[in-house]
Amino acid sequence: MSATTNEANDREDFKVWQQNLCKSYSAWEHLLHNLYHETYNLACIQEPFLNSLNLTNASSLS
């Protein structure tokens, strides 16, 4: 067995969540409350909700 094959077998799965929120506040809140950090390694958000200052809102979730 080659070293490349062994390295591929030793890796853990890397899970990505990708979602287009269509600048929706309710979709943003739903995503923040329901995206489990134990399940996904990376979250890619397209068109996030922007507040009146044209900034995304921070979450107090931990």
pLDDT, position 16: 94
- Higher pLDDT: 4 or 17? It is 17
Instruction: Please report, in angstroms and rounded to a whole number, the separation of the first and last CA atoms in the chain.
Output: 43
List CB contacts of 42: < 8 A, sequence separation 6 or more: 14, 15, 16, 17
- Higher pLDDT: 11 or 45? It is 45
pLDDT averaged over every residue in the chain: 82
Distance CA 31, CA 26 (A): 9
Asked whether the predicted pLDDT for residue 2 surpasses 70, the reply is no
Q: What is the reported pTM?
A: 0.63
pLDDT, position 58: 66
